[in-house]
Amino acid sequence: MIAGLTPYQGQWNEANARHLLKRTVFGATKEQVDAFASLGLAACVEKLLDDTLPQPNPPVKEYNSSAAASPDTLIAMGQTWVNDPNNDGTVASLRRASFKKWWVGTMLFQDPTLREKMTLFWHNHFATESADVGNAQYVYKHHQLLRTHALGNIKTLTRAVTIDPAMLVYLNGQNNNRTAPDENYSREIQELFVVGKGPGSGFTEADVKAAARILTGWRNNATKIESYFDATRHDTANKEFSTFYGNRVIAGRTGATAGDQELDDLITMLFSVDEAALFLCRKLYRWFLYYDIPSEVEASVIAPLAKIMRDNNFEVKPVLRALFSSAHFYESTFMGAQIKSPVDMLIGMLRESDVKFAPADSYAVNYPLWNQLVSYLTNMQQNIADPPDVSGWKAYYQEPGYYGYWVNTDTLPKRIQYLDILATTGYTMNGFKVSVNGVSLVRKFSRPEEPNLLIDDLVKHFLGLGITPAHKAQLKRDILLAGQSEDYYWTNAWETYITAPSNAANTKHVTTAITSLIKYLMNLPEFQLM
């Protein structure tokens, strides 16, 4: 029997805090885990749901556009390009790349809230491909729309996305007119964004056609970097829907406000069906907890969450508050049950290891460093801002594999390779080296001189699941004790390192052992879980 949405009443401890953080942020530092373990569940959840913190500064020009036909010479290096309507193809490509680098940096410097994880959730949900959108200003504007509404009202966000310039390009909305209605977006808003394809979904082809007629007339102005409504291209006749939507008729309008009025009616109708809240809650559940939703979870978790969503007019915070506060969320079966996405694995590892970058405003240093991480993510099949298609990444919807789609014969060797690089030699751009400083990390633990506690702390910190006592003993003997049998061998080496760091041979031994231990843990299958 599952616990359902009954509030969690058990002991709040480090393990629960780490589980919550692993699912809600991209890599929790030791300081964050310690802070959350001391706060208590309710305070932790409210901290995660805080959406009052300042938005990150926008991406800046850090590229050389001299080869472009129309280089953006009015934008100085280090200044943002997001409001400049340059449409040169070369400049657009450079800016889209700049955006991806910036997004990685934003994840690395994320605030201790849910905003980053929810921004990526909405990017996967309202998926667009920047390469298809083309216009980099549209790409950034779309991203900011997702980010500013990440913890807000889903109906409001859906309405805004519908007439967002990037989405109008991506799903052909800007070409939708009364003489040739385009059904691309009207299909996806029902099938992928609001109602879904589940057993409770019953929209028809006629509904797709009717919704397409409602959405005629919206166009883009690339100079103003915004969309607008052209009444001359709008279908002014009434639009009739099927029994699934209660045979609703949305009255056709004329004039400058027709597009907004009919869009409001469409959004109200789509979200009025029960399946909308159920569909959205299933997507949130699969993102944050687990892909499998058997009938008992549907009844005791999804249905109550959907009621909360409807009762709160599709505000997302009350739903997430209920999920993260539930006994169900902290059932042991879900700890270490997700395979990490490339973003969770790579950004998470860098943050968990407290890897240092230059200050956030040092664009000339950081953007090349972040670009290397964009390449790693792309090679592991999570090209941020360019998901595979409008459905997003398969790991969150495709039966039967779900999270298993992240790991295959191509991506698994690359995951290990990139972890090995970062844990050992690191990589260098413009004279700045990015690598794990294992000794600096373990100094934050309670008693790094005690080999058993040190291994326990590292295992808890890095692995989604624990390992056996025998496995820990083997690691201690082979790595920390270098084949010796007595614990004091490591204790003496560590204490000598602290008191006499100039002892080159001992310092090398300690740093090599810590590096080898962290590298070993990152190569374990358990590291791929969260």
Please write the tens of the pLDDT for every residue from 378-389.
999 999 999 999
Angstrom distance (rounded) from CA 356 to CA 134: 33
**For residue 418, pLDDT beyond 80:** yes
> Can you give the length of the chain in residues?
530
Mean pLDDT score of the chain: 97
**For residue 410, pLDDT beyond 80:** yes
Phi, psi of 153 (to 5 degrees): -95, 130
Q: By the 8 A CB rule, do 338 and 407 touch?
A: no
At 432, is the secondary structure helix, strand, or coil? strand
Q: By the 8 A CB rule, do 23 and 288 touch?
A: yes
Q: By the 8 A CB rule, do 331 and 3 touch?
A: yes
With cut-offs at 50, 70 and 90, classify the pLDDT of residue 526: very high
At 218, is the secondary structure helix, strand, or coil? strand
The residue type of 114 is: L
Q: By the 8 A CB rule, do 369 and 432 touch?
A: yes
Angstrom distance (rounded) from CA 320 to CA 315: 10
Q: By the 8 A CB rule, do 123 and 262 touch?
A: no
- 181 closest CA partner among 173, 191, 171: 173
With cut-offs at 50, 70 and 90, classify the pLDDT of residue 4: confident
Structure tokens at 417: 């390779």
Structure tokens at 71: 């280089």
Angstrom distance (rounded) from CA 65 to CA 308: 50
Question: What HEC string does 381-420 produce?
Answer: CCCCCCCCCCCCCHHHCCCCCHHHHHCCCCHHHHHHHHHH
Question: What HEC string does 340-366 produce?
Answer: CCHHHHHHHHHHHCCCCCCCCCCHHHH
Residue 477 is classified by DSSP as: I
Q: What is the pLDDT of residue 335?
A: 95
Name 252's Cβ contacts closer than 8 Å, sequence gap at least 6: 235, 236, 237, 238, 239, 258, 262
Angstrom distance (rounded) from CA 139 to CA 153: 21
Count of C-beta atoms within a 10 Å radius of residue 263: 18
**For residue 265, pLDDT beyond 80:** yes
Q: H-helix or E-strand containing 429?
A: strand 427-429
- 100 closest CA partner among 57, 59, 149, 146: 59
What does the pLDDT look like over 183-226, one tens digit per residue? 999 999 999 999 999 889 999 999 999 999 999 999 999 999 99
Count of C-beta atoms within a 10 Å radius of residue 141: 18
- 159 closest CA partner among 145, 169, 147: 145
With cut-offs at 50, 70 and 90, classify the pLDDT of residue 361: confident
**For residue 45, pLDDT beyond 90:** yes
What does the pLDDT look like over 71-128, one tens digit per residue? 999 999 999 999 999 989 999 999 999 999 999 999 999 998 999 999 999 999 999 9
Structure tokens at 388: 């595979």
At 74, is the secondary structure helix, strand, or coil? coil
Q: How far apart are the first and last CA of the chain?
A: 23
What does the pLDDT look like over 488-523, one tens digit per residue? 999 999 999 999 999 999 999 999 999 999 999 999
Residue 233 is classified by DSSP as: G
Angstrom distance (rounded) from CA 161 to CA 137: 15
With cut-offs at 50, 70 and 90, classify the pLDDT of residue 413: very high
Q: Is 252 left (phi over 0), alpha (psi -120 to 50) or beta?
A: beta
Helix boundaries (H) for 49-190: 89-108, 115-125, 130-133, 136-148, 154-162, 165-170, 184-188
With cut-offs at 50, 70 and 90, classify the pLDDT of residue 2: confident
User: Tokens 């969150």 belong to which residue?
Assistant: 396
Angstrom distance (rounded) from CA 287 to CA 281: 10
What does the pLDDT look like over 174-195, one tens digit per residue? 999 999 999 999 999 999 999 9
Q: What is the pLDDT of residue 390?
A: 97
Q: What is the pLDDT of residue 337?
A: 96
Mean pLDDT over residues 17-34, rounded? 96
At 489, is the secondary structure helix, strand, or coil? helix
